[in-house]
Protein backbone atom coordinates (compact mmCIF):
# COMPACT_ATOMS: atom_id res chain seq x y z
CA UNK A 1 0.00 0.00 0.00
CA UNK A 2 1.40 3.37 -1.07
CA UNK A 3 1.48 6.24 1.33
CA UNK A 4 -0.07 9.62 0.43
CA UNK A 5 3.41 11.20 0.28
CA UNK A 6 4.60 8.55 -2.19
CA UNK A 7 1.50 9.09 -4.34
CA UNK A 8 2.15 12.84 -4.41
CA UNK A 9 5.79 12.34 -5.39
CA UNK A 10 4.81 9.87 -8.12
CA UNK A 11 2.25 12.33 -9.51
CA UNK A 12 4.82 15.13 -9.38
CA UNK A 13 7.45 13.09 -11.24
CA UNK A 14 4.94 11.97 -13.90
CA UNK A 15 3.79 15.55 -14.39
CA UNK A 16 7.36 16.81 -14.70
CA UNK A 17 8.12 14.27 -17.43
CA UNK A 18 5.11 15.22 -19.52
CA UNK A 19 5.97 16.74 -22.87
CA UNK A 20 5.27 20.43 -23.18
CA UNK A 21 2.25 21.27 -25.28
CA UNK A 22 3.35 22.28 -28.75
CA UNK A 23 1.60 25.22 -30.39
CA UNK A 24 -0.52 24.41 -33.41
CA UNK A 25 1.41 24.71 -36.64
CA UNK A 26 0.49 27.69 -38.77
CA UNK A 27 -0.44 26.64 -42.30
CA UNK A 28 2.08 27.46 -44.98
CA UNK A 29 0.32 29.22 -47.89
CA UNK A 30 2.73 27.71 -50.42
CA UNK A 31 2.03 24.23 -49.06
CA UNK A 32 -1.71 24.83 -49.41
CA UNK A 33 -1.21 25.86 -53.05
CA UNK A 34 0.92 22.75 -53.71
CA UNK A 35 -1.83 20.57 -52.22
CA UNK A 36 -4.43 22.26 -54.47
CA UNK A 37 -2.15 21.69 -57.47
CA UNK A 38 -1.76 18.02 -56.63
CA UNK A 39 -5.52 17.62 -56.19
CA UNK A 40 -6.15 19.44 -59.48
CA UNK A 41 -3.68 17.14 -61.25
CA UNK A 42 -5.41 14.09 -59.79
CA UNK A 43 -8.78 15.44 -60.97
CA UNK A 44 -7.39 15.96 -64.49
CA UNK A 45 -6.13 12.37 -64.55
CA UNK A 46 -9.50 11.06 -63.37
CA UNK A 47 -11.27 13.11 -66.04
CA UNK A 48 -8.95 11.84 -68.78
CA UNK A 49 -9.58 8.26 -67.64
CA UNK A 50 -13.33 8.84 -67.64
CA UNK A 51 -13.16 10.31 -71.16
CA UNK A 52 -11.15 7.31 -72.38
CA UNK A 53 -13.62 4.85 -70.83
CA UNK A 54 -16.60 6.70 -72.36
CA UNK A 55 -14.87 6.75 -75.75
CA UNK A 56 -14.18 3.02 -75.63
CA UNK A 57 -17.69 2.06 -74.58
CA UNK A 58 -19.43 4.35 -77.08
CA UNK A 59 -16.81 3.99 -79.84
CA UNK A 60 -16.27 7.74 -80.11
CA UNK A 61 -13.66 8.93 -82.63
CA UNK A 62 -10.62 10.92 -81.52
CA UNK A 63 -11.25 14.62 -81.12
CA UNK A 64 -14.94 14.27 -80.23
CA UNK A 65 -16.14 16.95 -77.84
CA UNK A 66 -17.57 15.38 -74.66
CA UNK A 67 -20.12 17.14 -72.46
CA UNK A 68 -19.07 17.11 -68.78
CA UNK A 69 -22.37 15.57 -67.61
CA UNK A 70 -21.68 12.48 -69.74
CA UNK A 71 -18.59 11.77 -67.61
CA UNK A 72 -20.42 11.54 -64.28
CA UNK A 73 -20.97 7.77 -64.57
CA UNK A 74 -17.27 7.18 -65.24
CA UNK A 75 -15.76 9.30 -62.45
CA UNK A 76 -15.02 7.52 -59.17
CA UNK A 77 -14.71 10.64 -56.99
CA UNK A 78 -18.04 11.90 -55.54
CA UNK A 79 -16.69 15.46 -55.30
CA UNK A 80 -15.64 15.42 -58.94
CA UNK A 81 -19.02 13.97 -59.97
CA UNK A 82 -20.84 16.82 -58.23
CA UNK A 83 -18.43 19.26 -59.85
CA UNK A 84 -19.21 17.89 -63.33
CA UNK A 85 -22.93 18.31 -62.69
CA UNK A 86 -22.56 21.94 -61.53
CA UNK A 87 -24.76 24.47 -63.28
CA UNK A 88 -21.91 26.78 -64.33
CA UNK A 89 -19.77 23.89 -65.52
CA UNK A 90 -16.90 22.12 -63.77
CA UNK A 91 -14.17 24.08 -61.98
CA UNK A 92 -10.74 23.07 -60.70
CA UNK A 93 -9.53 23.32 -57.09
CA UNK A 94 -8.64 26.99 -57.67
CA UNK A 95 -12.15 27.83 -58.90
CA UNK A 96 -11.09 28.16 -62.54
CA UNK A 97 -13.15 26.50 -65.30
CA UNK A 98 -12.23 23.02 -66.55
CA UNK A 99 -12.60 21.84 -70.11
CA UNK A 100 -13.43 21.55 -72.89
CA UNK A 101 -13.11 17.77 -72.89
CA UNK A 102 -12.03 15.95 -76.05
CA UNK A 103 -11.58 12.24 -76.72
CA UNK A 104 -7.92 11.13 -76.69
CA UNK A 105 -6.65 14.64 -75.97
CA UNK A 106 -5.37 15.52 -72.48
CA UNK A 107 -7.54 17.96 -70.54
CA UNK A 108 -5.60 21.19 -70.15
CA UNK A 109 -5.21 23.06 -66.90
CA UNK A 110 -6.55 26.63 -66.85
CA UNK A 111 -3.89 29.37 -67.40
CA UNK A 112 -4.89 31.10 -64.13
CA UNK A 113 -4.27 27.85 -62.26
CA UNK A 114 -0.84 27.57 -63.85
CA UNK A 115 -0.07 31.19 -62.92
CA UNK A 116 -1.15 30.56 -59.31
CA UNK A 117 1.04 27.46 -59.13
CA UNK A 118 4.27 28.90 -60.53
CA UNK A 119 5.55 30.36 -57.26
CA UNK A 120 4.57 27.35 -55.15
CA UNK A 121 5.89 24.69 -57.54
CA UNK A 122 8.90 26.66 -58.70
CA UNK A 123 10.78 26.47 -61.99
CA UNK A 124 9.66 22.88 -62.58
CA UNK A 125 5.97 23.77 -62.97
CA UNK A 126 6.04 22.75 -66.64
CA UNK A 127 7.23 19.27 -65.68
CA UNK A 128 4.59 19.10 -62.95
CA UNK A 129 1.66 19.89 -65.26
CA UNK A 130 3.19 17.89 -68.15
CA UNK A 131 0.75 17.00 -70.92
CA UNK A 132 -2.00 18.97 -69.18
CA UNK A 133 -0.20 22.27 -69.72
CA UNK A 134 -1.83 24.26 -72.51
CA UNK A 135 -0.26 27.03 -74.54
CA UNK A 136 1.10 29.86 -72.41
Domain boundaries, the chain: 29-132
Phi-psi bin for 61: left (phi > 0), alpha (psi -120 to 50), beta? beta
Higher pLDDT, 10 or 37: 37
More confident site: 24 or 111: 111
Q: What is the pLDDT of residue 21?
A: 60
- pLDDT tens per residue, range 28-83: 888 999 999 999 999 999 999 999 999 999 999 999 999 999 999 998 888 888 88
Give me the pLDDT at residue 3, please: 59
CA 115-117-120 angle, to 5 degrees, is: 130
Q: Identify the pLDDT of residue 1.
A: 52
Amino acid sequence: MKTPLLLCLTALICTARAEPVKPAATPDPMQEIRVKCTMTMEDLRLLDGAIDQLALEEKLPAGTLVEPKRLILYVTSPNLSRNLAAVGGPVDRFGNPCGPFFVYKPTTVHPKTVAASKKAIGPHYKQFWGQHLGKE
